[in-house]
Structure 1
Amino acid sequence: MFSDAEAAALYDVMNPWDPARYPEVVFCTELVMAAGAVLDLGCGTGSMLHRARDLGHTGRLVGLDPDHGMLDRAKRRTDIAWVSGVAADAAWDDEFDLATMTSNAFQHLVTDDELRASLTAIRTSLRDGGRFVFGTRHPQARAWESWNPSNAFDIEGATGRKLRMWHDVESVAGDVVTFTETTAERDGTVLRVDRASLRFLDVPALATFLTGAGFTIEDQYGDWHRGPITETSREIVTIARRVRTQHSAPDGNTPHLQ
């Protein structure tokens, strides 16, 4: 009743990659435009990489996403490589200067094993000194408490179809929140129900996973304006750098970093 293609088009209506509306766009665009080769994990409909090309990026751009409806929409632009898969499937080795996960896509990495496998694959895909930038919702803000039918909202789809959407939290188990997103007609006729789980990691937990995977945290902010993390921060924005590979010194004894 509401196809994957319609859902992908609606996603773009709800989440335009617009620097005038979202500071995340400005933050990420600066990093992408300064990098020669970029891997966008959870690229969705490809808006970030589309914009990079529009702004004149001439290097290698690759988008990875498991959602075929999203990828089909991304493929409207053919001068970017689009790959089906999840972060743990990333099979590149020492090829990118920058990896990104925008729009809180990082929170879809739910289990410890999934996080470790994904971070290892991301690190491997980066060149020595390459950076990984991503944002997550700060658990202290408890964003999920507003995800309920009383906050339903009306929206017009890409084709002008009038819709109503709402969220329902099914469970909060430790740092994992499972919820549904319902898309309906304005009269309440349900068209589609999507279910997802998100993990809300705090600053120490993020640090543990990142350092364990061979990253060092270069910068961390409480918002996309590069403000500090405080007790009221709603975001954790992280720039992690791949730790440079150790090599033996010329005498073969003391290791040194490139």
Structure 2
Amino acid sequence: MVDRSFTDPSLAALYDTLNPWGPGDDFCLGQVMSAGTVLDIGCGTGRLLGRARREGHQGRLMGLDPAAAMLVRARAHEPGVEWVLGDLRSREWHGEFELAVMTGHAFQVLLGDEELRLALAAVRAALAPGGRFVFETRNPGARAWERWTPDRVREIPDGDGGVVRVWHEVESVAAGGERVTFTETFEGARWARPQVDRTTLRFLGADALDRFLRGAGFVVVERYGDWGRGPLTLAAPEIVTVAEPADRHNWAP
């Protein structure tokens, strides 16, 4: 099920303001610009591929997202990209891409083991020989959810001269911190009442991630704890992973 903050046009319009371009986008843009064909899984508003095209990328760029409201904004960013409504199960993949990326912690919405296995198998099928899969997930050791509290309110412009107030509140932490359910609340003049979106994210540590990747035929070739390529430590904020098909490395589980 796609989060309401992505399917509601009034909330989707706030995404780029709430999540401004940052070091993670720079990291992924560098990966995109070095690949001839790119699949952006959960492309959202399309700013990564749109910017790549504007900066001179001449190859095939495809953005895939299950939220129509986000793709409306993506098509406004850059019409010269293939914007596809759906998810990894929407089609068969046949090694079309040199690079697959999942940004914005999209990997964490894959909650079940089987769902995650199917998604990784689809990514593997989409990659050409020598292709790469780049994604990030929040490091559970950093316990980011402990800072998702109602007293931490952000105020952003609503585009009409007003202000939108946004805050988070954790409802439950399950499986020893592996699954976190929380709400994101939007309050502003454009709505008669606050708009509330409920989300569950999965926090997998590096060892668990690697087991799933190995099972799908991947091997990790780069691993970082932040977007500056710092080491992965217990308190590092991210687990940034660059993986390749294992057959390129003569590796077997």
TM-score (norm 1): 0.88
CA–CA distance in structure 2, aligned partners of residues 67 and 210 of structure 1? 26
Amino acid corresponding to residue 45 of structure 2 in structure 1: T
Shift of 1:90: 5.0
CA–CA distance in structure 1, aligned partners of residues 143 and 60 of structure 2? 38
CA–CA distance in structure 1, aligned partners of residues 63 and 161 of structure 2? 28
Partner of 1:138 in structure 2? Answer: 139
Gaps of 5+ in 1: 247-254
- Residue 190, structure 1, aligned to residue 193, structure 2: yes
Q: 1:89 aligns to what SS in structure 2?
A: coil
Query: Which residue of 196, 204, 207 corresponds with 2:207?
Result: 204
Shift of 1:256: 11
Q: Is the 8 A contact 2:139 2:235 kept in 1?
A: no
Amino acid corresponding to residue 216 of structure 1 in structure 2: V
CA–CA distance in structure 1, aligned partners of residues 52 and 160 of structure 2? 26
**Cα deviation digits, residues 74-94 of structure 1 (max 9, x gap):** 011221001111234352211
Amino acid corresponding to residue 30 of structure 2 in structure 1: E
Partner of 2:10 in structure 1? Answer: 6
Shift of 1:152: 1.8
Amino acid corresponding to residue 213 of structure 1 in structure 2: A
- What pairs up with 1:56-95 in 2 under 5 angstroms? 56-76=56-76, 77-95=78-96
Partner of 1:166 in structure 2? Answer: 167
Shift of 1:185: 2.2
Identity of aligned residues (%): 51
Query: Which residue of 242, 246, 251 corresponds with 1:243?
Result: 246
Q: 1:87 aligns to what SS in structure 2?
A: coil
Shift of 1:16: 2.6
Partner of 2:33 in structure 1? Answer: 33
Amino acid corresponding to residue 67 of structure 1 in structure 2: A
CA–CA distance in structure 2, aligned partners of residues 219 and 88 of structure 1? 27
**Equivalent residue pairs, number:** 243
Shift of 1:149: 0.9
CA–CA distance in structure 1, aligned partners of residues 65 and 97 of structure 2? 17
- Residue 217, structure 1, aligned to residue 220, structure 2: yes
Partner of 2:42 in structure 1? Answer: 42
CA gap 1:148/1:128 in 2 versus in 1, 3 angstroms: same
CA–CA distance in structure 2, aligned partners of residues 159 and 43 of structure 1? 26
Shift of 1:12: 1.2
Q: 1:151 aligns to what SS in structure 2?
A: coil
Gaps of 5+ in 2: none
Amino acid corresponding to residue 166 of structure 1 in structure 2: W
TM-score (norm 2): 0.90
Shift of 1:120: 0.4
- What pairs up with 1:105-116 in 2 under 5 angstroms? 105-116=106-117
76-85 or 53-62, which moves further after superposition?
Answer: 76-85
Q: Is the 8 A contact 1:13 1:158 kept in 2?
A: no
CA–CA distance in structure 2, aligned partners of residues 235 and 116 of structure 1? 21
Q: CA RMSD in A?
A: 2.2
Q: Which has the larger radius of gyration?
A: 1
- Residue 153, structure 1, aligned to residue 154, structure 2: yes
Amino acid corresponding to residue 167 of structure 2 in structure 1: W
